A and B are shown apart, each in its own frame.
Chain A
């Protein structure tokens, strides 16, 4: 059993019940998803007994550098409304800031339990795709090269982020590169030959995938900043494009902020339909502190300008931006209060959403191995309040509700709310 380091934490913030009652225009089942991401989750023996690695996608290969433990947890859960919740995220399992929720299996139902009380139920664990049972021509499992969510196939092209070349310049919330270093890995990129073998096998499965996602760490080298990163994505996108008869195929790239020349090259030379570059933190000063490498090499204003400029190339509705929501309240340089953070974040968010860019904001969990690992994330009330405001803005500016939506990702729950647009 995992117990919070602060036994009194429940007395210091609004409970799930309080927040559900306060925001009656927000779905209670969705609020629970937000809180699971914030607090983490664990599994009862009954729930563990229901995990079947022959059927379910479980964390077993240690390739996902966002989770340090190889412990066979399910990669994700399927909610009753058909949306997905990623469950392989890392949180401090020894001394978490708050008690995690517990997954149990009672009377034929998967349930979520808190303090012994059932607070919700869900359909089950994510199923693994057929290609996870197959191997590449070098004998390695195909899942080494390409991974899958329930309806998305994805590849992490660059496993190392070069903003960490100077250790003090890595993003303070991110465990990817510290985990990469700790794993002893040396190859930053996999051989495209084996990626191709994985995609060829994956695309045989009818009805499984609706989108291809590429992402990875930043590469700073090249004639211009990020040129080598751009080339690595173009190379993989061209390879994937060979599987489709038309020019474009449903696809998303999450990358560094490319300039207009780079974006045009990306758009013209590949079949990519959707571009994402993460603004990470909705405030210039906090960005400078939290993402020092990005701030020093490019700067907040230029990152944001490039994000907005990408709409002219990919089209309104085909650009999103991610953030690690809540880091703006990290200590010691974050906002002093949730009210102050809310005002600043919403104002800045509108300046982005108003260009037709939806915000794929993730919930910050102070993750082991990240610089922020011992911090405490904001209250549930803060997250729901901010997401609610983002949703209002997205409805007002009519961002595309079908890109980066509930059936593609499973992490940034805020965009689930677009399902009734």
Chain B
């Protein structure tokens, strides 16, 4: 059974959804970047890195080498948001699949666009982070961590 439900897949694939990925450098410095190419393929989070010298590329290499984790934040146009944690497991940098994506990206975005790598992230956890959902969860689980005037 897929870790992603069909509703989340639909949200992720909506062009109006904002999708960001947070990684950590070799020196422990966090880095967040938006990746609108992010989508789901066979239970993996997949996105394209277009710049070989990008910090996200360096951080993902460091993560795949040392079993590090990444966080992916999904913000739907209706303001619902989700957090996916996962680990990078594959980086495709050559081959027919790479060349097909390279051509498609150029056809869509113009000849100046490069493709450095296709990254595959294996999801570990998925959690809805929408404020209203989280507020209700907390209220049910910890009913007394509130200001007194709200009791």
User: What's the Cα separation between A321 and B12 when bound, in Å?
Assistant: 46
> Which chain A residue has the least Cβ–Cβ distance from B89?
A80
A208, B57: Cα distance in complex, Å: 20
Looking across the interface, which residue of chain A has its beta carbon closest to that of B55?
A420
Question: What B residues does A72 contact at CB under 8 A?
Answer: none
Q: Check A206 against B106 for contact (C-beta < 8 Å).
A: yes
- A420's partner among B62, B90, B95 (CB-CB below 8 A) is B62
Do the beta carbons of B93 and A82 come within 8 Å of each other? Answer: yes
The interface size bin for chain A is: 20 to 34
Instruction: Find out whether the CB atom of B103 lies under 8 angstroms from the CB atom of A207.
Output: yes
**A83→B61 CA distance, assembly (Å):** 10
> In whole angstroms, how far apart are the Cα atoms of A402 and B134 in the complex?
44
For the complex formed, measure the closest distance between the CB of A158 and the CB atoms of chain B, giving whole angstroms. 28
Q: Which positions 58-75 of chain B face chain A at CB distance < 8 Å?
A: 58-59, 61-62, 64-66
A127-B65 in contact given A80-B89, A207-B99, A419-B58 (Cβ < 8 Å): no
Chain A residue nearest in CB terms to B99: A207
Chain A nearest CB from B107 CB (Å) reads 10
Q: How far is the CA of A150 from the CA of B117 in the complex (A)?
A: 13
Q: Is B8 an interface residue (CB 8 A)?
A: no
Q: Are B93's CB and A151's CB within 8 A?
A: yes
Q: Which residues in chain A, 27-75, are within 8 Å of chain B measured between CB atoms? A: 27-30
Q: Which residues of B contact A206 (CB under 8 A)?
A: 99, 102-103, 106
Q: Is the CB of A151 within 8 A of B94?
A: yes
Q: What residues of A have a CB within 8 angstroms of the CB of B66 in the complex?
A: 27
Q: How far is the CA of A208 from the CA of B65 in the complex (A)?
A: 25
The answer to the question of A123 belonging to the interface, with a C-beta cut-off of 8 Å to chain B, is yes
Q: Decide if A82 touches B99 in the complex (CB within 8 Å).
A: no
- Indicate whether B52 reaches chain A with its CB closer than 8 angstroms: yes
Q: Are B98's CB and A207's CB within 8 A?
A: yes
Residue among A29, A80, A127, A421 making CB contact with B94, cutoff 8 Å: A127
Known: A206-B102, A206-B106, A419-B58. A80 touches B93 (CB 8 A): no
With beta carbons under 8 angstroms apart, the residue of A81, A84, A126, A205 that contacts B65 is A81
**Given the contacts A81-B65, A421-B58, A123 and B103 also touching, CB distance less than 8 Å:** no
* Contact of B15 with A by CB under 8 A: no
Give the docked Cα–Cα distance between A206 and B99 (Å).
7
- The distance in angstroms between the C-alpha atoms of A407 and B57, with both chains bound, is 13
Residues in B whose Cβ lies below 8 Å from that of A150 = 93-95
Least Cβ–Cβ distance between A226 and chain B, in angstroms: 34
Across the interface, name the chain A residue whose C-beta is closest to B102: A207
A205 touches which one: B64, B90, B99 (CB < 8 A)? B99
Identify the closest chain B residue to A122 (Cβ): B90
> When A and B form their complex, which 7 residue pairs have the shortest distance between CB atoms, in order from nearest?
A207-B102, A82-B91, A27-B65, A150-B94, A82-B93, A207-B99, A419-B61
